[in-house]
């Protein structure tokens, strides 16, 4: 299965909860399956953030990026 499918976290929850019989464990099984789905969701969010960052162009000039002046020295 692939994380690029629409609704993948929900699919993952249903697979873990119903196919792998997570419901037989009661509330701990539900919590475990919900956490699996949440984890899959966070993977998708982080992947989108990384792809978005990689598609942004780098600054054209050094004027846009100011170096850190360091600590302020008082006389």
**Residue 39 φ/ψ, nearest 5 degrees:** -60, -45
Helices (H) and strands (E) in the chain, counts: 2, 0
Which tokens go with 54? 């990689």
CB burial of residue 75 (10 Å; 0-12, 13-18, 19+): exposed
Q: Tell me: the pLDDT tens digits for 6-56?
A: 899 999 999 999 999 999 999 999 999 999 999 999 999 999 999 998 888
Q: What's the pTM? A: 0.68
Give me the pLDDT at residue 42, please: 95
């Amino acid at each position: 299965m692939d994380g690029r499918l629409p609704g993948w976290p929900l699919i993952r929850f249903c697979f873990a909860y119903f196919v792998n019989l997570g419901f037989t464990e009661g509330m701990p099984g539900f919590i475990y399956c919900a956490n699996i789905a949440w984890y899959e969701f966070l993977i998708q969010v982080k992947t989108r953030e990384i792809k978005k960052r990689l598609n942004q162009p780098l600054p054209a000039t050094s004027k846009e990026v100011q170096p850190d002046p360091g600590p302020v020295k008082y006389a």
